Amino acid sequence: MPEQPPVTAPTVLHPMPGQSRVVLLKPLVTSPLIEVGEYSYYDDPDDPCAFETRNVRYHYGPEKLIIGKFCALATGVRFIMNGANHRMDGPSTFPFPTMGGAWSRHVDLLMDLPNRGDTVVGNDVWIGYGVTVMPGVRIGHGAIVGAGSVVTADVPDYGIVGGSPAGLIRFRFSADDIDRLLALAWWDWPIEHIDENVRAIMSGTVDDLEKAARAQGL
């Protein structure tokens, strides 16, 4: 029986042979304001390696973009960060101090901009083509975001959302099964155990995952 090839290392930038359009994000990102889990990837035929500048916008800190493990991000996904915000409590939203010159003496007016905190994408999330994620939202574990959606509010675990603004279409599983899946947290299993159970993870049942977890004492 031929020897099986090893599992792709999470440090490989281009995991798919001959497909430079696909990058694993963990070995790509350098910003201390972006955290990405293992095997999460971005697909873009133009310049996937420019993810930090082309796909994460207005990211001046201190809030972070946190992306979990095993997430799939389609071409054109954009994360709008809190640096895009303007004051809305006065007659004008124009950011005069950013223009420099004499107006820079009013820089204190930029200190109280709306800030919703970190933007968090859970584990095993699929974000479709051209999705825009607004500042400070949480996209739950196992969620799916439909192509072209604008995510303005939190997405529940294992929810499917779509539209602008994105609304809940349905849940992928029953409430009981969602609780079981969150307890199993297969994305935190040792990679060897994930490798042994890829078929159950992709096409099995929650019962199958529980059996796999018990087999390894997880």
Q: What share of the chain has pLDDT > 70, as a percent?
A: 99
Q: What is the pLDDT of residues 174-216, one digit of tens each?
A: 999 999 999 999 999 999 999 999 999 999 999 999 999 998 7
- Spell out the domains of the chain, with CATH numbers in brackets: 22-172 (2.160.10.10), 173-218 (no CATH)
Contact 86, 96 (CB under 8 A): no
Contact 73, 43 (CB under 8 A): yes
Averaged pLDDT score across all residues of the chain? 94
26, exposed or middle or buried, with CB in 10 Å at 0-12, 13-18, 19+?
A: buried
For residue 193, give the DSSP letter.
H
- What's the pLDDT at 3? 67
Q: Around Cβ 59, how many Cβ atoms within 10 Å?
A: 21
Distance of CA 4 to the CA centre of its chain: 31
Q: What is the pLDDT of residues 22-46, one digit of tens each?
A: 999 999 999 999 999 999 999 999 9
* The residue to which tokens 């490798």 are assigned: 195
Q: Around Cβ 98, how many Cβ atoms within 10 Å?
A: 11
pTM of the model: 0.93
- Residue 86 annotated to the active site: yes
